Amino acid sequence: MDEVSTWFNSLPRFTRYWFGGTVSFSLLARFGILSPRYLVLLYDLFIKEFQIWRPATALFFYPISPQTGFHFLINLYFLINYSKLLETGVFATRPADYATMLLFNWAVCVVTALFMNMMTLMDPMVLSVLYVWCQLNKDVTVNFWFGTQFKAMYLPWVLFGFNLILSGGGMSELIGILVGHLYFFLKFQYPQQYGGPPLLGTPSILENWFPPPRGGMGGFGIPPEARAPAGASPAGNPAGPAGGGRSMFGGHSWGRGQQLGNQ
């Protein structure tokens, strides 16, 4: 238990809270301590009866069963791995920016889920974070099942294709990809590549709550280079992320969104 506690406390702040909340709510529901019907996102209960906790519990709760248990573990792996890489990488000195990313992706997932009748948010949220990392590190080589290798920019689509072929799902992955791309476009692509004004800033309240750490350097992921305006002399931009093998646990049925009472 000491080793588990040490490992858990070694996780960066937002990844630790997200992982801890997901494991706690999912296991409490699995063993009957909490009822899943109070945790999932339902339009009528959230909008009409003002049960405002449901968007949060729908993020942390995942219905564990013999059919979905392996998928749940794979989701946890992706959550820990890619959230940690972002939080200790490109956002290492900007925790408020990472909090903004998580809140933005979560809010878009909630709105989409209400219209799509999705009751849990773990799948699209995890894939949206994975997508952002893959775009910031698109030239890094990842290893997939059977020793296949490809650039990180294709990883979200590979996961989408696997689920589409193996289980006929894929909607949760597609929503996660679209949410991640929306954030990436507003935060990085539009201002830096198209020279537009910033469209997604960090609220000052988050800057006050999560100030930059003193000392230390981060930068695993590298934002895309800005496109120089016409007629301007090119400025020195940081080089893209160095190539190199990054392994990941692959070859699984990523699973569709789990509907309660009916991965």
Considering the domain boundaries, does residue 26 fall inside one? Answer: no
DSSP single-letter state for residue 93: T
12, 95, 214, 230 from 91: Cα distances, Å: 11, 6, 14, 30
In a domain, 140, yes or no: yes
Give the number of domains in the chain.
Answer: 1
| Top-confidence residue, 107 or 161 | 107
Residues 6+ apart with CB under 8 A from 195: 226, 227, 229
In 229-242, which positions are buried (b, 16+ CB within 10 angstroms) versus exposed (e)? eeeeeeeeeeeebe
**Does 28 map to a domain?**
no
Decide if 104 is inside a domain.
yes
Does 246 reside within a domain? Answer: no
- The mean of the pLDDT values for the chain is 82
Residue 196 has pLDDT above 70, yes or no: yes
Q: Is residue 230 part of a domain?
A: no
Q: What range does the domain containing 124 cover?
A: 66-200
Q: Rounded to two decimals, what is the model's pTM?
A: 0.80
- Picking from 77-81, 93-97, 186-190, 255-259, which range would have the lowest pLDDT averaged per residue? 255-259
Query: Mean pLDDT over residues 220-245, rounded?
Result: 41
Residue 4 lies in a domain: no
pLDDT of residue 144: 76
Examine residue 13 and state whether it is found in any structural domain, yes or no: no
Residue 147 per-residue DSSP state: G
